[in-house]
Amino acid sequence: MRKKSSRKRPSRFRAFRLIILIGLLLTMGLIFLVSTLGNQEFGPLHKMIFESVGPVQKVVARSSDYVRSLKTEYLDLLRVREENTRLWSELQECRAALYKSREAMATNAMLRRLLDFKRNSGFPTVAATIIGKDPSLWFRSVIIDRGSGDGVVKGMAVVTGDGIVGQVFNVAPGYSKVLLAIAPSSAIDVLLQKSRVRGILKGTGSLTYRLEYILKTVDVAEGDRVVTAGYGGLFPTGLPVGVVSRVIRKRRGMFQEIEVRPAVDFLTLEDLLVIEQERRPLE
């Protein structure tokens, strides 16, 4: 029985304490409510609550933002891999298309020049493509895919839209060998366009010509244009050959040493025209 009474006392005390606490809280709440509703004032309590909750809110909000952005970034990363693969393949396709289009444009420009030359020259021509180059260190020739079956004869002039390339040296039914104008064995009758003085253009084996038999009395300057003379009937008259790039007048001798830069770019030769002209073949 004693035990029972000793248990009841604290429980009563506890209930009493609880009632007082609730009462106190209710009273405080009532006071707070009345004062808030009455004044509509953002009091010190509000400010205190605001100041204490604010940082927590800030931290939680930032953390939440961080987690959200992390999630978004991760998802983006997953999507980026796929997109990266797709974009790479697209880029490759675009690059290939660009190269093709550039190549087509370059070929188009070159063929246009050839066509212009063909129209303007008025000579019957045979279009040919270079299929092989002379690997020797001592000669300069190329193989073209046109031969006697296409009307090509030994000695015919070979040109591009820019000027002379050389002349046909050997002929087979389907293919021909062209001796380039830069070969040392090549000799072409030419004229200095300004002074109309005739000379012989010889190849040097490199990417220049040597203009020979021009007297010292002739006025030649760098930049003077050199064209074919048309003598001997090998090359038609007036075809561009090159531009004078250097003139050396030595004390001794009758003639000047003249270096001519070719009109044709021999490094990029691809498509050519063989001019069909009535002429005796080369011996």
Binding site for another protein (CB under 8 A): 131-143, 169-170, 177, 179-180, 182-185, 204-207, 266-269
Residue 217 Cβ vs another protein, minimum distance, rounded to whole Å: 27
Nearer to another protein, 146 or 177 (CB): 177
CA atoms within 13 A on the CB side of 221: 3
Nearer to another protein, 11 or 206 (CB): 206
Nearer to another protein, 29 or 184 (CB): 184
Residue 131 Cβ vs another protein, minimum distance, rounded to whole Å: 7
Long-range contact set of residues 166-175: C-beta below 8 Å, sequence gap at least 24: 166/141, 166/142, 167/234, 167/235, 167/282, 168/274, 169/141, 169/282, 171/147, 172/147, 172/148, 173/147, 173/148, 173/149, 174/145, 174/146, 174/147, 174/149, 175/131, 175/143, 175/144, 175/145, 175/146, 175/147
Residue 270 Cβ vs another protein, minimum distance, rounded to whole Å: 10
Q: What angle do CA 186, 190, 193 make, to 5 degrees?
A: 150
Nearer to another protein, 1 or 137 (CB): 137
The beta-strand segments (E) located in the chain are 125-133, 141-144, 157-159, 164-171, 176-180, 187-192, 198-203, 209-212, 225-228, 240-248, 257-262, 271-275
Nearer to another protein, 187 or 247 (CB): 187
Q: What is the C-alpha to C-alpha distance for residues 121 and 279, in angstroms, rounded to an integer?
A: 17
Nearer to another protein, 192 or 264 (CB): 264
At 96, the amino acid letter reads A
Token pair belonging to 142? 């190329």
Residue 110 Cβ vs another protein, minimum distance, rounded to whole Å: 15
Residue 176 Cβ vs another protein, minimum distance, rounded to whole Å: 11
Residue 141 Cβ vs another protein, minimum distance, rounded to whole Å: 6
